Amino acid sequence: MTNFTFAAKAVRGAACLALLAMAVAYPASAAETVTAAAFDPLTLPVALPDIVEGSPAAKVTIVEYASVTCTHCAAFHAETWPSLKQRYVDTGRVKFILREFPLDPLSAAGFMLARCAGSEKRDGLIDVMFEQQKSWAFVPKPGEQLLALVKQQGMSQTDFETCLRNQALFDSLNKSRELAAARLDISSTPTFFVNGQKMTGDLPIGEFDKVLTPLLK
């Protein structure tokens, strides 16, 4: 999992192109833990609409807090998410909610661009950001690579620049992150809540099976 060391002063004016110059690498740990949640994330006020996959009537809800620059989040989405989606989400047994928890200004920019892409392209763009993370998030000029990535998904440079100047969107993204950090005690990504039970780290599908099996009986 990736540690949460987001410095507030570094992002106060980040809804502008300057934030793309700030590609900060944060220390990561592959440790995995499972603990009880202090609050139910489903009762937490959100400043942005949830990104949801699965049936609204599902018996179990999983909420993931992720950062698109988090290497362990990318690993989860590459290695665990396909099986989790196939076994539980696509079968209507689990509803999956992704919530943004940017660890740095570059991640905030990525999530902003995904939101600006619209509901039809948003999820696919987030998937591509995770899949191609090494090629845009950990390079000398991440802004240029991020622009190239979103252009491939149909976004123009004008749309790119307009989106990153959207202070209201940035403020909403930051508010959601701050609420989650304070009320849910989130300090790393990815962090999951399975019907309120807190799980952290790049967990394999077997760990989800252990938690989901009794809940779905």
Report pLDDT digits (tens) over 121-138: 999 999 999 999 999 999
pLDDT by residue (tens digit) across 88-102?
999 999 999 999 999
Instruction: State both tokens at 210.
Output: 């252990």
Contact 129, 68 (CB under 8 A): yes
pLDDT by residue (tens digit) across 37-75?
446 788 888 899 999 999 999 999 999 999 999 999 999
What CATH homologous superfamily does 2-7+16-211 map to? Glutaredoxin (3.40.30.10)
- DSSP letters for 128-184: HHHHTHHHHTSSS-HHHHHHHHHHHTT--HHHHHHHHT-HHHHHHHHHHHHHHHHHS
What is the per-residue pLDDT for 36? 42
In the predicted model, what is the mean pLDDT of the chain?
86
Taking 60 as the threshold, does the pLDDT of residue 108 lie above it?
A: yes
Taking 80 as the threshold, does the pLDDT of residue 8 lie above it?
A: no
Which residue has better confidence, 187 or 62? 62
**Which of the residue ranges 3-7, 163-167, 182-186, 211-215 would you say has the lowest mean pLDDT?**
3-7
Which residue has better confidence, 111 or 10? 111
pLDDT band at 205 (very low <50, low <70, confident <90, very high): very high
pLDDT band at 139 (very low <50, low <70, confident <90, very high): very high
Taking 50 as the threshold, does the pLDDT of residue 162 lie above it?
A: yes
What is the per-residue pLDDT for 35? 45
Contacts of 40 (CB under 8 A, 6+ apart): 193, 196
What is the per-residue pLDDT for 15? 39
pLDDT band at 1 (very low <50, low <70, confident <90, very high): low
Taking 50 as the threshold, does the pLDDT of residue 77 lie above it?
A: yes
What is the per-residue pLDDT for 125? 98
Residue type, 43: T
Peptide bond into 190 cis (omega under 30): yes
Q: Where are the domains of the chain?
A: 2-7+16-211
